Homo-oligomer: A and B are copies of this chain.
Amino acid sequence: MKTIHLIQFGLGGVGRALVQRVLAARDDFEWRYGLQFVYIALCDSRGAAIDPDGFSHAQLRAMLAAKEAGQSLENTDWGYKRGGLEDIVDIAGREDAIVIDVTATEETAPALQLALDRGYGAVLANKKPLTGPIEQFRALTSSGRLRYESTVGAGVPVIAALREAIIPSHDAVHRIEGCFSGTLGFLTTGLEEGKAFSDLVAEARALGYTEPDPRDDLGGMDVARKALILARTLGWPLELEHIPIEPLFPPEMAEGTVDDFMAALPRLDASYRERVAAAGRKEKTLRYVATLAGGEVAVGLKEVAKASALGQLRGSDNLIAFHTDVYNQTPLVLQGRGAGVHGTAAGVLADIVALCP
């Protein structure tokens, strides 16, 4: 039996789903892999809890309950107001530790780098540390001890397909096309069905598919970050600002309150209806697509053939199509639920296991 020590940054929805999943997997992993996971540190945005001997399952469950009830770790029996994440890495860590980043902030990058320098593993669902300056991406990934499956397509093994199937098979990648936003998938499916753009955004917002400000989804930045991570995984030396991003609203609507934005949306309905109709006359449909080809990446609304993998995609699934030498007539396609706390936590856990000896 091998014991692996876990340090987790982030106890939001994904973070809590991950702790629950680690607890639930205990017996399975003991017999299947001979692995036992022990949490030695957990941090949220304000507080931290550290015990180098490991927290009991009862303690972890109590922390989850406190978080569910809206408390910060600093106010629990085991927590305190935290200082720097780097200190936590050094106080809690041991060589066999794995640091897990399920936050959504740049702020974790130095602590991740420190952990890797110390020889720990690191698993990210957080896209920010990998989409800053490329030197940072290279420094973090050069150890070979950092995994980031859940940054693109949640648990759908998109990164693994690239890093562990296509690249080591010496296959040449000609083009990658992906739909990496369930929210924008929901919208484009609805547009294809003839619904009004403004109604669809309102519906997506009401269903909780969008961020509180839907412009955070409609702006395309999250999709661009995912595309950048794929491009860098291919070895392309790109920065976020190299990627043209087409937002689904005009620049003047970027200003103002969310209510202003929602009120202005119906102005866009006619033009989206026309774009869908124009595509339809060519047996095409609209998808919000990240395209990687010839060393360049672009993100935006795109006409795709209705009969293609992207054109057949419906609803909020993610999809990626790899066009390569081997997959030349038809692409290699992966499709599945690309978001949600359970899918994301599942991808993180698979990465953790992959880092274990």
Binding site for B on A (CB under 8 A): 21, 24-25, 28-29, 32-33, 149, 155-157, 160-161, 164-171, 309, 312, 315, 317, 325-327, 329-337, 342-343, 346-347, 349-350, 353-354
Contact = CB atoms under 8 A, between A and B. Distances in A.
Contact of A155 (B29, B165, B347): B165
B170 A24 contact: yes
Contact of A161 (B157, B167, B170): B157
B326 A342 contact: yes
A301 to B, nearest CB: 23
B335 A333 contact: yes
A345 to B, nearest CB: 8
A238 to B, nearest CB: 18
Given A155-B326, A157-B157, A326-B343, A169 B333 contact: no
A170 B325 CA distance: 34
Contacts of A332: 155-156, 334-337
Contacts of A347: 165, 169
A169 B346 contact: yes
A169 B349 contact: yes
A28 B173 CA distance: 14
25 contacts: A21-B169, A33-B168, A155-B165, A155-B171, A155-B332, A157-B157, A157-B165, A160-B160, A168-B350, A168-B353, A169-B346, A169-B347, A169-B350, A170-B349, A171-B346, A312-B312, A325-B342, A326-B342, A326-B343, A330-B336, A331-B336, A332-B335, A332-B337, A333-B335, A335-B335
Contacts of A335: 309, 330, 332-335
Contacts of A165: 149, 155, 157, 160, 347, 350
A315 B330 contact: yes
**Top 7 nearest A-B pairs by Cβ distance?**
A169-B346, A168-B353, A25-B170, A332-B336, A157-B165, A169-B350, A333-B335
B336 A333 contact: yes
Contacts of A160: 157, 160, 164-165
A347 B165 CA distance: 7
Contacts of A343: 326-327
Contacts of A349: 168-170
Contact of A21 (B21, B170, B317): B170
Contact of A170 (B28, B149, B167, B330): B28
A160 to B, nearest CB: 6
Name the residue among A32, A149, A329, A337 with the largest chain B CB count within 10 angstroms: A337
A334 B337 contact: no
Contact of A334 (B24, B32, B334, B350): B334
